[in-house]
Amino acid sequence: MNRPDTEMSLDALVEQIPDGATLAIPREGSPIAMAATRALIRKGARGLKLVTVPTSSLQADLLIGAGCVAAIETAGVSLGELGQAPRFNKAVRSGAIAITDTTCPAVHAALQAAEKGIPFMPLRGIIGSDLAAHRDDWKIIANPFGDDDPILALPAIRPDVSLFHAPLADRDGNVFIGRDRELMLMAHASARTLVTVERVQDDSLLDDPARAGATIPALYVSAVAEAHRGADPLGLFGHYGPDDEHLKTYAALARSDEGFAEYLDRFVFARVAAAE
């Protein structure tokens, strides 16, 4: 097993996300790799196929508005209490991106199929809906163990890359995710897993009984980059909360093309200029 690089720069990390990749990103309640998202925009990423696990907010809206995304499979993209996701909505209405509608359980089930190395996962609860009728890749099959018991078969989702933030990693490349278990699922299902963390420690996380059960082993991690406050302006549970004023500023600016361009100039590209 190759040991993951735990001393990679943020820019080097996002260089491992090729144009056209299927990229899995977690819901806002999980730690979002926002510093890496900004680096991905600065890199000029194009043609990405986003899979939200199972929804998204600012991260997907930013990537779509910046022209990085060609397609998205999602159960929903919004800014929550701040309203609709303006760049996502405009892209869908204009046909700038292809959208594949799904549900939260369907995304998790399809990733579980990839995690287990099987071609599909059965799921109940969607048969008879408009959604099932418009997904040609979803198949209604007979339950082989029951009479007159149709069930929906969902093809496995196998992302090329999963990208997320976490509180902590160790030098071996093990990543502590705490309560956010869907990050473990994403890592298991994906060909590569790229993680930004608040810090990297020397001691092995797998030797700590209190943390080992909530740690993704290095076997499933491709590379780690330290990024202090890497989820900002979104929050990281137990470390810092969301920047509500920043999010309100985004919601207001992103309603127009000019405002969104101003946001990118001020908060995506200007951060690098300020650091230099």
Do 166 and 236 have their domain in common?
yes
Please tell me what DSSP assigns to residue 156. P
| Structural domain of 140 | 120-155
Is 85 part of a structural domain of the chain?
yes
Q: What is the mean pLDDT of residues 53-75?
A: 98
Does 149 share its domain with 186? no
Across 100-116, average pLDDT: 97
> Rounded distance, CA 56 to CA 29, Å?
9
Tell me, yes or no, whether 26 and 87 share the same domain.
Answer: yes
Count other Cβ atoms within 10 Å, centred on residue 273.
Answer: 8
Q: Is the pLDDT of residue 147 over 60?
A: yes
What's the mean per-residue pLDDT of the chain?
Answer: 95
Lowest-confidence pick of 76-90, 119-133, 157-171, 211-225: 119-133
* CATH classification of the domain holding 29: 3.40.1080.10
Q: What is the pLDDT of residue 139?
A: 95
Residue 274: pLDDT above 80?
no
Residue 219 resides in a domain: yes
Mean pLDDT of the region 29-49: 97
Query: Which strands, in side-by-side order, build the sheet including 139-142?
Result: 120-123, 150-155, 139-142
What is the rounded CA–CA span in Å between residue 49 and residue 156?
A: 15
Instruction: Say yes or no to pLDDT of 276 above 50.
Output: no
> What's the CA gap between 58 and 56, in Å, rounded?
7
pLDDT score at 270: 87
Going by DSSP bridges, is the β-strand pair 22-26/223-226 parallel, antiparallel, or unpaired? unpaired
The band of 271, judged by pLDDT with boundaries at 50, 70 and 90, is low
Q: What is the pLDDT of residues 118-144, one digit of tens each?
A: 999 999 989 989 998 899 999 999 998
* 41 and 130 assigned to the same domain: no
User: Is the domain of 18 the same as that of 136?
Assistant: no
User: How many separate domains does the chain show?
Assistant: 2
Q: Do 194 and 77 sit in the same domain of this protein? A: yes
80-89, 90-99, 131-140, 258-267: least confidently modelled range: 131-140
Phi, psi angles (nearest 5°) of residue 208: -100, 110
The percentage of the chain sitting over the pLDDT mark of 70, rounded to a whole number, equals 97
- Is the pLDDT confidence value at 273 over 80? no
